[in-house]
Amino acid sequence: MSVDTPHTKFLLLFAIVRFDFPVNSEYPANSVSVVKVFSSQEAADQEASRPNHVNENKSCRYDIYVTRFIA
């Protein structure tokens, strides 16, 4: 099992992505959106858990994805 470690060359960011279900087959890009981006995984975890809890009975989900900032 590998452990995620920060890349020394790039700053890691944590993007909160919203998925709406069912996915629109005609315009699938309309079913996915980046909501917010954080420099702290802890802050992203806290922010993503709130809408997941509030919208638990709706057809959407908020997930966190790691990405890199390249200036």
Complete DSSP assignment for 10-59: SEEEEEEEEEESS--SS-GGGGEEEEEEES-HHHHHHHHHHHHHHTTTSS
In this prediction, residue 8 has a pLDDT band, given cuts at 50, 70 and 90, of low
Mean pLDDT calculated for residue range 12-35? 94
Which residues pair with residue 14 across a beta bridge? 38, 66
Tokens, residue 27: 């315009």
Mean pLDDT calculated for residue range 36-58? 92
Mean pLDDT calculated for residue range 58-64? 94
**21 versus 10: which is more confidently predicted?**
21
